[in-house]
């Protein structure tokens, strides 16, 4: 750097490789979910036997969990802002995000329980079951990983391992969380609005 300055060269700042890496990873995740969504859309209405989506999918429940997840994108944003401003409240907003994630997962668990136990819909019942559980299941797995990441970051921050106002672990976890949230917007639209 100093040598560059010595020869009078303007050295442009480089993007942080960790951030670039996270974006690249999320791009690959987007490709993965797109494939599952394509699978779902292609098989809409192609099931040979029931039950069909309108018969078994409960919209009020999912609207509730969706509101939780969308709100969590706001809370994680507030957490980041609080940290950047140096004001208190990071831990609260951050923990609220994780809690909203857990509520979402609980909603999914309840939905799956009623689908499996009450309506007898499993992965093997028909194409709807096959594609539904795969798509929603992979999304829920991502939310679960996200909650673990949120809690890990919170623990590390509490112990003082993430100093500064913009620790990269916080930023990247927030990006991941927004991404998982964004995927849900697509899943919700395809499964519960268009496909129902």
Partner 1 sequence: MATAVPELSRERLSLVAGLHEWVVTVDHKKIGVMYVLMAIAFLLIGGLEAVLMRVQLLWPRADFLPPLTFNQFFTLHGTTMVFFMGMPILIGMANYLVPLMIGARDMAFPRLNAMGFWVTLFGGLLVYASFFVPGGPPAIGWFAYAPLTEKTFARGPGVDCWALGLLVSGVGTIAAGVNFVATIVGMRAPGMKLRQVPFFVWTILGTSIQILVAIPPLTAALVMLIFDRHLGAHFFDPQAGGSAYLWMHLFWFFGHPEVYILVLPAFGMISEVVPVFSRKVLFGYEFMALATMAIVFISLGVWAHHMFTVGMSRTLDMFFAGASMLVGIPTGIKIFNWLATLYGGKLVLKSPLLFALGFLSMFVIGGLTGIILACAAVNFQIHDTYFVVGHFHWVLIGGTVFGVFAGLHYWYPKVTGRMLSERLAKWQFWLLLVGFILTFAPMHVAGVLGMPRRIYTYEPGRGWDLWNQLATVGALIQAPSYLIFAFNLVWSLRHGELAGDDPWDAWTLEWATTSPPPSYNFESVPVVRSRRPLWDLKHPDDPDWKYE
Residue 34 engages partner 1 in binding (rule: CB under 8 A): yes
Q: Which range binds partner 1 by CB under 8 A, 40-48, 140-148, 150-158, 169-177?
A: 40-48
Residue 72 engages partner 1 in binding (rule: CB under 8 A): no
Q: Find the shortest distance in angstroms from Cβ 41 to partner 1.
A: 11
Residue 177 structure tokens: 């969380």
Q: Which DSSP category does 188 fall into?
A: H
- Beta-carbon contacts of residue 104 (< 8 Å; ≥ 6 apart): 65, 68, 69, 72, 143
Residue 71 structure tokens: 């709100």
Angle among Cα 21, 147, 175 to the nearest 5 degrees reads 30
Closest C-alpha to 153, from 145, 162, 140, 144: 162
CB closer to partner 1, 98 vs 136:
136
51 cis-preceded (ω within 30 degrees of 0): yes
In the stretch 114-143, what mask flags binding to partner 1 with x, by CB under 8 A? Answer: --------xxx-xx--xx--x---------
CB closer to partner 1, 99 vs 127:
127
Name residue, tokens 């401003």. Answer: 85
CB closer to partner 1, 16 vs 166:
16
Contact residues toward partner 1 (CB under 8 A) are: 1, 3-4, 7, 9, 11-12, 14-21, 24-25, 27-29, 31-32, 34-36, 38-39, 42-43, 46-48, 122-124, 126-127, 130-131, 134
């Amino acid at each position: 750097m100093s040598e560059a300055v010595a020869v009078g060269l303007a050295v442009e700042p480089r993007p942080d490789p960790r951030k670039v890496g996270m974006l690249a990873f999320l791009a690959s995740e987007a490709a993965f979910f797109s494939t599952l969504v394509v699978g779902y859309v292609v098989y809409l209405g192609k099931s040979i036997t029931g039950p069909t989506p309108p018969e078994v999918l409960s919209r009020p429940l999912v609207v509730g969990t969706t509101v939780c997840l969308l709100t969590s994108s706001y809370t994680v944003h507030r957490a980041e802002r609080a940290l950047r401003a140096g004001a208190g409240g990071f831990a609260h907003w951050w923990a609220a995000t994780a809690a909203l994630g857990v509520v979402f997962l609980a909603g999914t668990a309840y939905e799956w329980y009623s689908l499996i136990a009450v309506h007898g819909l499993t992965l093997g019942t028909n194409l709807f079951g096959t594609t539904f559980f795969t798509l929603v299941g992979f999304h829920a797995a991502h939310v679960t990983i996200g909650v673990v990441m949120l809690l890990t970051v919170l623990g590390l921050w509490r112990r003082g391992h993430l100093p500064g106002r913009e620790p990269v672990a916080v930023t990247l976890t927030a990006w991941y969380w927004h991404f998982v949230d964004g995927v849900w917007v697509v899943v919700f639209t395809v499964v519960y609005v268009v496909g129902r």
